[in-house]
Structures are given as structure tokens and as C-alpha cells.
Structure 1
Amino acid sequence: MTVYSLYIYDRHCNCVYYHDWHRTRRPKPANEGGGFLPGVARAVSPIPPASASNASTPYTSPRHTLSSSSGVLVAANDTQPQSAPPLLQTHAVTTPPPASYTSTGLPFDEESKLVYGVILSLRNMIKRLSGRDEQFVNYRTSAYKLHLYETVSGYRFVMLSDPNAESLRFVLRSIHTGPFLEYVVRNPLIEMDSRERGIDNEYFRASVDRLVRGLSIFN
């Protein structure tokens, strides 16, 4: 059993974060003008990685990290190059190279909309058939199991795992109460109601990666 991928949707139904692990068929890069927010994930960004102004980090937005290269505030008179913190170095080493993936043939912007459409349709169907007290938490197919965790503020955390996995709702809740609150909600440089960028905080991405890799289900 293992974990495949993680999606986070904001209150505007936009996918603001994506991360995958044991997924061997990664979606194609998002289409230009397809509603893809910058900073969601470098692997599915429509902008080629080589065009980034800073090759040491997947994202270059100074609004979401204290420094675009490391996430650490650097003194103005410090002329020494800043090395990446150990947390980021560990994340960089353990991430599989893009060459090991094949494409599903579906652009990421279309895939993320399909995933959101599925959870929204099933959520509405359950509420209409079973009443308002019932909640949609997961469903399973022969290929994967989808887990859903919704916050009061309207954010939806979606995780795809092996179909035989137990409920991972507690993992999604841990991501929300841990890295999400620490590096996103409490970060004054991130606009929580913004429709302009995804969550491009490197410390959040590295913390989520470490949390998921520490699970007993992760192989």
C-alpha cells in the first residue's frame, strides 16, 4: 500500500497545491490560460523549469517565502551565498527525478478540475440522499482510493492512495493542523483569499513531504 498524490483546493474551487509520490503516470503540464495558478507544483507548471530566474528553487515568488532561494531572511550586508536549509536539502534528495514518470495524456488543469468535480458531485449526492448530517469522506475504485477532508474555512484536502488503504482522513487533518497552519495560514506574506498564486512556500512542501514519507503506509 502507498500514497499517490495530494491536492488542496481553496474556497474558490481552485487547486492551490499539488504533490505526488508513488504516482508513475504524472499528468502533462497545465495548459496556458487553463486556470492554472502559478506555484501549485513545478512538475505540472506550463512554464518550463529552465526559464525560471532562480534554478535553486522551484518557485520565485518573494511574497510567499522570506527569501526566494531558501525561505530564510538574509541580512542586507551578507555577501556569502546562502545554502539551502537541511529540511529543503532532504526534500530535494528524496524527490524522484521527473524522467522516471510517464504521462497520463491529460493536462494537469483538466485533471484537477475532474478531481474537484467528482468530490463535489459525490458530496452533494450524499447530502441529498442521506441528509445534512452525513459526510463524504472517501470512495474506492479498483485502482485507487480517494480521501477527503474539508475545513471550516472552505479548503478541501484530497489524497489518492492504494485502494486497500485504511482511511487517511487523519493524515489530511494533520497536514491542515500542522504544516498548513504553520507555513500558510500564519505566514503574513500569503494572501489566503488570493486567486493569483498557489501555495509556493518551500517549507510547507518539504514539511508535507516529510510527514507523508513518515507514514507506515508509505513504501
Structure 2
Amino acid sequence: MTIYSLYIFDRHCTCVYYQDWHRTVRPKTAVEGGMLPAVYAPVYPSGPGAAVNNRNTLSSNSGIVVAVNHGDEDGPQSSLPTQQVYSPIAPQPPPPTSALSFDEESKLVYGVVLSLRNMIRKLSGKDENFVNYQTSSYKLHLYETHSGFKFVMLSDPGADSLRFVLRQIYAGPFLEYVVRNPLVEADSRERGIDNDYFRMSTDRLVRGLTVFQ
């Protein structure tokens, strides 16, 4: 059993955060204007208008957080000569990519959640809540906050309900580093809610779970 990915949608039906771990098929780069900046750097479209930050940033690939600290471009350069290190290990080929771009994928995930939630409420009444559903290849888990944020996690189909994990992410890292952070606009409709500390804390929380392998 394992965990594949995490999506966070705001009350405007927009994906504002994404992180993955054990995905074997990577999402394709989103089309220009198809996603908000600061949601997930590896799939953000490049070109004019693309936000680039090369200093003291944190990048994530497959959920692994890597700190990158570039030297100050205006400061003195080191006079030490660089040394090339030969590595006998051949570079690994990039992982296969999905046929869908990230913006299309996130819209499909939200569409499934919205459709199933509405169907359950019509069939069972307003007091019935949609928490997860399972297919032969994955299981989708949902936790929705009173403010309209939807936390969606995809896992192995054999995993138990991870709704409590989504609630932990919301009550812990999300409230601490997003809601209570005056520098993060959680409802700006112009930018994602990505935050270095939030991403690292979420990654640490998920990797500490017994279901994570």
C-alpha cells in the first residue's frame, strides 16, 4: 500500500496545491494559462510570464523536497577551481508522462469529486457525506473544510480511509503555514498556496504514515 498524490482545491474549483510521491506516470506540463503559479513547479508552463525563482528555493519531484541555495549573483565569486567528478552510473531516463496535461488532470479529479458528491447527496440526503471511492488501480479520499477547501488524496486501492490524514494536513501544516501566514493569500485566485514550510511539513507527515512505503 502507498500514497500517490495530493490535490488541494479552493472554493472557486481551482487547484491551488499539488504534491506527489509514488507516481510512476508523471503529469504533462500544463498549457499556458491553464494553472495558477506556485501550485507545482515541475508542471508549470515555461515561456513568457512564467515565474522563475532560482535563489533559496525548494523544489519537489515525486514528493522529495530538495533544498537549492544558489550563491548571491552580486557577491564575490569563489576563486577555487571547479573539479569534474566522473560517475560510472549512467543517467536515468525521465519517467513516462501522462497523456493529459496537469490542468486537464486536475479538472478531471475535481469533476469526479463534485459529481459523486452531488449524486450521493441527491440519493441519500444532505446529511450523507462523500469520503472516498475505489477503483481497481487507485482509491480517492476527500476531506472538505467549512471554508470550501477540498483536500483530495489518491492512494493504493488497498489502503484504508485516509480522511484522518487529510484532516491532519488541514489542522496542522495548512493552518500553521497557510491560513495563519500573512504572506500567503489563500484565496487570491491569482496564485497557488505553495509554501516551502507547508510542503516540507506535509511531506514529512505523509512519509511518517504506516501506509506510506
Q: Specify the code of the residue in structure 1 equivalent to 2:11.
A: R
What SS does structure 2 have at the residue aligned with 1:139?
strand
Per-residue deviation at 1:56? Answer: 4.1
Which deviates more, 172-181 or 186-195? 186-195
Q: How far has the Cα of 1:139 moved from its partner?
A: 0.1
CA contact (8 A) 1:146 1:161 kept: yes
Take 1:98 and 1:112, find their aligned partners in 2: how far apart are those partners? 28
Identify the residue that residue 45 of structure 2 maps to in structure 1: 46
2:19 aligns to what?
A: 19
- Deviating runs (4+, > 3 A) in structure 1? 97-100
- The structure with the largest helix share of the pair is 1
TM-score w.r.t. the length of structure 2 is 0.81
Structure 1: stretches of 5+ with no match in the other structure: 60-68, 71-78, 81-96
What TM-score comes out, normalization by structure 1 length?
0.79
- Counterparts of 2:179 and 2:93, CA distance in 1: 34
How large is the RMSD of aligned CA atoms in angstroms? 2.3
Residue 166 of structure 1: aligned partner: 160
Q: Which structure: larger Rg?
A: 2
C-alpha distance in structure 1 between counterparts of 2:170 and 2:123, whole Å: 29
8 Å contact from structure 1 (residues 43, 98) kept in 2: no
Change (3 A) 1:27 1:181: same
Superposed CA offset, 1:142-170 (max 9, x none) = 00000000000000000000000000000
Query: Percent sequence identity over matched residues?
Result: 68
Change (3 A) 1:39 1:216: same
User: Superposed, which structure 2 residues align to 1:1-219 within 5 Å?
Assistant: 1-34=1-34, 36-47=35-46, 52-54=52-54, 56-58=56-58, 100-219=94-213
> Given that residues 7 and 15 in structure 1 are in contact (C-alpha distance below 8 angstroms), is that contact kept between their aligned partners in structure 2?
yes
* Structure 2 unmatched runs, 5+: 60-67, 70-74, 77-90
| Aligned-partner SS, 1:177 | helix
Q: Which has the higher strand share?
A: 2
CA distance in 2, matches of 1:165, 1:136: 17
Please say if residues 4 and 161 of structure 1, whose CA atoms lie closer than 8 Å, have aligned partners that are also in contact.
yes
